[in-house]
A and B are shown apart, each in its own frame.
Chain A
Amino acid sequence: TLRLIYTTTAVQRKNVGASGPEKYTEAFIKKQIEEFNLGKRHLANMMGEDPETFTQEDIDRAIAYLFPSGLFDKQARPMMKHPSEIFPEQRKIQWGEDGRPFHFLFYTGKQSYYSLMHETYEKLLTVQKYQDQLTDQDLPAQKEKRNLAGSRWLTKIELEEMLLEKLSDNDYSRCIQLLQKLMTSPCGDIEEKYIRKFTKEVPAQLQKVVIEPLKYDERGVAFSTSEGTRKTARATAVVYDNGTGKVTVNGIDILHYFPVLQDREQLLFPFQFLDRVGKHDMVCTVSGGGRSAQAGAIRLASAKALRSFVTEKEVEFMRQAGLLTVDPRVKERKKPGQEGARRKFTWKKR
């Protein structure tokens, strides 16, 4: 027979399933908020700023200054934010002291989801009633099309966050279908405010980027400058109008600087895409990187410079062709215990 001599507490705790995320009490959250505000005032005093007008941006800057970190993941760096952003929202206890739930749909399991569907359907019925009233009075049905292009529905994850409940794909699709029906039906404009809660703006990519106007140099020739990067190469390009297609890199002709055909093809691509092969001259400076990286950097710089010469539609075409995007691929870091970034050491059986 075996006698139990010594065991650790970890082993004794067998077959206990992992509990969910820790539940925070309201008092705990309140205390965190008080501590946060106090800490904010201390921080403002430390930095020599006014505690009353110390915004979140100032906090971020101060923390980045006091605790500099070289970690790549922004979420992993030290941060000081309001507790509501750090601690995820949790549902308060849904039933009273007598054990009776507050909400009438509690026993469905997904109470907020079904209450949402209920509300939306009510709104749909009111809209249909209103429409019937209008047709009874022989008034024309108002149809004002809202701008659908700039908005999108909430994603499933966003809806889950809003309702604080897990949803299934089916539920989500039913909800969205109902909202769409509400929106597309005539006289749906009445409920616009309600629907807007479930939509998000999608700004077109182009509105963020500002296209610079052309500059004119002493001879009267239009030109534009811009920069481009690829891996470790940095390039600046100046594209002149009324040219013959001559390209100079660091004072050297491209035939001598890029003897390989592939690099010259990369340089050719933006001009060929816009059908302006022999019309522009270019003078570039490039440093760093290797042969291919420098060619890619110059290509990006010239594409950005050509934006000022070209209509907005063509700029959109260029963006979709991938001429204006910075290539994010960089050399992957070598990991310890491996020979390279991915290559492992030769495996020996013994």
Chain B
Amino acid sequence: LDHGYALHTAAKECLSSAVSTDVQAPAERPGAVFYTSESDPANHTDHHEGRHYSIPLEEVKAVFPHGLPYRFQQQIKTFNEACLMVRKPALELFTCLKSSNFAHPAVRYVIYGEKGTGKTMTLCHVVHFCARQGWLVLHIPDAHLWVKNCKELMQSSYNKERLDQPLQASVWLKNFKTSNEHFLKEIKTRRKYVWGKRESTEMGRPLGEVVEQGLARVRNASDAVGVVLKELKEQCQLGSFRLLVAVDGVNALWGRTTLKKEDKSPVSPEELTLVYNLRKMMMNDWNGGAIVATLSQTGSLFTPSCAYLPQQLLGKDGFNALDPFVPIPVPNYSPREFESCYRYYLDRKWLQHEKARTEDGKEELRFLSGSNPRLLERLAAPL
């Protein structure tokens, strides 16, 4: 079988142990050593490190309406399946989350690393895990989208100094609805919220109504988001559900914006309602859940492209606000992970060039991409 062929010099030691102990012969693809049929992230252990597991497509639509990177979405469409690699940072996070004490204030985890090493994918892995576990997932796909390229800025009705972003807020509310349908029916509001002259939400109504209100009346969408966040924060402490706050590109909350007010003066992040409410969420003054954040240089504004450490990207304010946190570095592919990714592409017949199938081709890919996941994916695309 391919088992003998797969015993490559670089991965010999790791593989031999894995092959002997791992009894799962993957049902879907015979002879592919780098797959696991274990599709529940909760059961992923160090055993499965370096292997791909697939998520059924309906789950993808339900759990990740807006979270996955664009290129990965294209890959899902091409291969007709979503396959994620199990890597060490994600496994570390799982152990931390499983063993976390929910009576203590929420622990903050910050995933950082160089460009293209897989931080967003790690975040999505964690989100999938929590969704399977039954947590309520508050997933903000990219905080950078809220601080740049905003077409409509309105003055907030709730607070005169702040500015609203109806479009982004409504988009986010829609996605939030698809991902957490059943929770929205269960959670009830604690207070009465008045939206305008005629609209208001009474106490004790399901949170879904607030979301509907935000979607229907786009003017109040940002305020609806604020209400949702506040409610969730308060109710999580009661312990009826667990809350995971997953933010991608958290350095956007404390950086600068490219937006300008009508008198051409720059807008600072605190003046945006969405950002203000999200910052309150990131404080660790609540318990019963966890906060996982990713730093991203790719969408960030006014930061040098070689910056990737938390201090450089968050700035002093952000660092002080997030302090203390658990840093989780995400490195480039290890040799074994590189092998696994390469085998996956070969298996899905993504690498069509004849030379790509040889040993030399693999070494060339390894050298040229420097084992960086994004570069490898970009290199393999035209082949």
Chain A residues in the interface with B (C-beta under 8 A): 245, 253-256, 261, 264-265, 268, 271-272, 275, 277-278
B364 touches A277 (CB 8 A): yes
Instruction: List chain A residues, Cβ under 8 A from B379.
Output: 261
A245 touches B375 (CB 8 A): no
Instruction: List chain A residues, Cβ under 8 A from B238.
Output: none
Chain A CB within 10 Å — which of B306, B367, B370, B372 has the most? B367
B375 touches A255 (CB 8 A): yes
Instruction: List chain A residues, Cβ under 8 A from B372.
Output: 255
A268 touches B364 (CB 8 A): yes
Q: Which residue of B lies closest to A261 (CB)?
A: B368
Q: Is B360 an interface residue (CB 8 A)?
A: yes
A245 touches B363 (CB 8 A): yes
Apart from A245-B367, A277-B360, A278-B367, list 7 A-B contacts with CB within 8 A.
A255-B375, A268-B367, A268-B368, A271-B367, A272-B363, A275-B360, A277-B366
Q: For the complex, what is the distance from the CA of A256 to the CA of B116, rounded to whole Å?
A: 12
Q: Which of B306, B363, B367 contacts A264 (CB 8 A)?
A: B367
Q: Which 6 A-B pairs have the closest CB atoms?
A: A277-B363, A255-B370, A278-B363, A268-B367, A264-B368, A277-B367
A/B interface sample: 11 pairs, CB < 8 A = A254-B370, A256-B306, A261-B368, A264-B367, A272-B360, A272-B364, A277-B360, A277-B363, A277-B364, A278-B363, A278-B367
Instruction: List chain A residues, Cβ under 8 A from B366.
Output: 245, 277-278
Q: Which residue of A lies closest to B372 (CB)?
A: A255
Tell me the minimal C-beta distance from B127 to chain A in angstroms.
28
Q: Which residue of B lies closest to A255 (CB)?
A: B370
Q: For the complex, what is the distance from the CA of A96 to the CA of B123, rounded to whole Å?
A: 105
* A-side interface mostly: helix
A253 touches B364 (CB 8 A): no
Instruction: List chain B residues, Cβ under 8 A from A265.
Output: 368
Chain B residues in the interface with A (C-beta under 8 A): 306, 360, 363-364, 366-368, 370, 372, 375, 379
Tell me the minimal C-beta distance from B351 to chain A in angstroms.
16
Instruction: List chain B residues, Cβ under 8 A from A278.
Output: 363, 366-367
Q: For the complex, what is the distance from the CA of A271 to the CA of B363, rounded to whole Å?
A: 10
Q: Which of B360, B368, B370, B375 contacts A253 (CB 8 A)?
A: B370
Tell me the minimal C-beta distance from A252 to chain B in angstroms.
9
Tell me the minimal C-beta distance from A14 to chain B in angstroms.
72
Tell me the minimal C-beta distance from B334 to chain A in angstroms.
11
Q: Which residue of B lies closest to A254 (CB)?
A: B370
Q: Which residue of B lies closest to A265 (CB)?
A: B368
Q: Which residue of A lies closest to B375 (CB)?
A: A255
Instruction: List chain B residues, Cβ under 8 A from A255.
Output: 370, 372, 375
Tell me the minimal C-beta distance from A240 to chain B in angstroms.
16
Instruction: List chain A residues, Cβ under 8 A from B367.
Output: 245, 264, 268, 271, 277-278
Instruction: List chain B residues, Cβ under 8 A from A271.
Output: 367
Q: For the complex, what is the distance from the CA of A46 to the CA of B306, rounded to whole Å?
A: 62
Q: Which residue of A lies closest to B369 (CB)?
A: A255
Tell me the minimal C-beta distance from A192 to chain B in angstroms.
50
Q: Which residue of B lies closest to A256 (CB)?
A: B306
Tell me the minimal C-beta distance from B83 to chain A in angstroms.
25
Q: Which residue of B lies closest to A275 (CB)?
A: B360
Instruction: List chain B residues, Cβ under 8 A from A264.
Output: 367-368
Instruction: List chain B residues, Cβ under 8 A from A272.
Output: 360, 363-364
Q: For the complex, what is the distance from the CA of A264 to the CA of B378, rounded to whole Å?
A: 14
Tell me the minimal C-beta distance from B165 to chain A in angstroms.
33
Q: For the complex, what is the distance from the CA of A261 to the CA of B381, rounded to whole Å?
A: 14
Q: Which residue of A lies closest to B9 (CB)?
A: A278
Chain B CB within 10 Å — which of A268, A271, A278 has the most? A278
Chain B CB within 10 Å — which of A245, A255, A264, A268 has the most? A255
Q: For the complex, what is the distance from the CA of A245 to the CA of B363, rounded to whole Å?
A: 9
Q: For the complex, what is the distance from the CA of A265 to the CA of B363, rounded to whole Å?
A: 12
Instruction: List chain A residues, Cβ under 8 A from B364.
Output: 268, 272, 277
Tell me the minimal C-beta distance from B336 to chain A in angstroms.
13
Instruction: List chain A residues, Cβ under 8 A from B306.
Output: 256
Instruction: List chain A residues, Cβ under 8 A from B360.
Output: 272, 275, 277
Chain A CB within 10 Å — which of B360, B368, B372 has the most? B368
Q: For the complex, what is the distance from the CA of A276 to the CA of B360, rounded to whole Å?
A: 9
Q: For the complex, what is the distance from the CA of A70 to the CA of B119, rounded to whole Å?
A: 58
Tell me the minimal C-beta distance from B77 to chain A in angstroms.
25
Chain B CB within 10 Å — which of A245, A254, A261, A277 has the most? A277
Tell me the minimal C-beta distance from A280 to chain B in angstroms.
11
